[in-house]
Structure 1
């Protein structure tokens, strides 16, 4: 499939797909006319790359990780190293800390919204006061 079709099917721009290629995350065969030609596998690969970016991984880490992900048969890939597993566990811990911080922020906003909504009028509650109360 051509780059435009891959972009449409994966929901990723042509520009991003070319970037993935320069970073070694995606590869394309070339037609005799020099156009990129991707196999069906590329749709799943691009979706996986997007998920890894969304998890906070950078392109260098994704390039290390992609060859180690489960093979088509579902079995673990032999390229996975203990060091990579440790690095990914550290990334997971970082994401968990971010989730905790976001949940705390949401709780603060919920309290502000609830307080401001009482009696149908806006309260004079200070965001700084509310945030300080939740830090302690």
Structure 2
């Protein structure tokens, strides 16, 4: 059985990763349509590109805090790689967001594999087995 606190952290880690993915997708769409990153920032209620990057960084920090409670070493290494991508050169926004999106996809795939492997170890006990003796 999965403890409530771990389930909560899994849920929010997924949400934070999803937010980063959405921002990357919106940014790439804006770039491909001739708009700047500032347009994406304004669309989600931020002032400019710097605030957008800071929002991504803050979201990533929340993600990392939640994922530390349940992920294995392989995933943590990928999370550190994503942090490197967030802090990488932003002079070519299209390339920046493509690399960031690929990093998010990599972590997402690893998390799916992690839960498939762990799921086989989880056994839901019957109500009788959960009763105190």
TM-score, structure 1 normalization:
0.32
- Higher RCO (CA < 8 A, seq sep 6+): 2
TM-score, structure 2 normalization:
0.33
Higher helix share: 2
